[in-house]
Amino acid sequence: MARSFYSHIKEAWRSPKEGKLAELQWQRKQEWRDEGAIERIERPTRLDKARELGYKAKQGVIVARVSVRKGGSRKQRFKAGRRSKRQ
């Protein structure tokens, strides 16, 4: 049975270093560093994952890319006083 287009995308994301995806990611990351923390984008970066989560290319549906800090949980800011330069 023939595989779907989305299964090929998913396969590429499983091992990005094997295909051209690694180079594409490297270029995108360079561009994204100059952009803001929240950016509205035309289409999802990972179309296969977006479709799994219910995305459809319809009018009125917007997609945003948001930068997230490293780590599994939300990090708290300092509670005690600090110099503003050090935060």
Instruction: Write the DSSP symbol of residue 86.
Output: G
Residue 18 belongs to a domain = yes
Contact residues for 41 (Cβ-Cβ < 8 A; gap 6+): 63, 64, 65
pLDDT for 87: 60
Residue 14 belongs to a domain = yes
pLDDT for 70: 78
Q: Which phi and psi angles does 69 have, rounded to 5°?
A: -70, 155
Residue 71 belongs to a domain = no
Q: How many domains in the chain?
A: 1
Residue 73 belongs to a domain = no
Q: Is 63 helix (H, G, I), strand (E, B) or coil?
A: strand
* Tokens standing for residue 66: 């948001």
For the chain, list residues with pLDDT below 70.
Answer: 86-87
What span, in angstroms and rounded, lies between the C-alpha atoms of 54 and 56?
6
What span, in angstroms and rounded, lies between the C-alpha atoms of 20 and 25?
9
Residue 86 belongs to a domain = no
Residue 81 belongs to a domain = no
Domain encompassing residue 24? 5-66
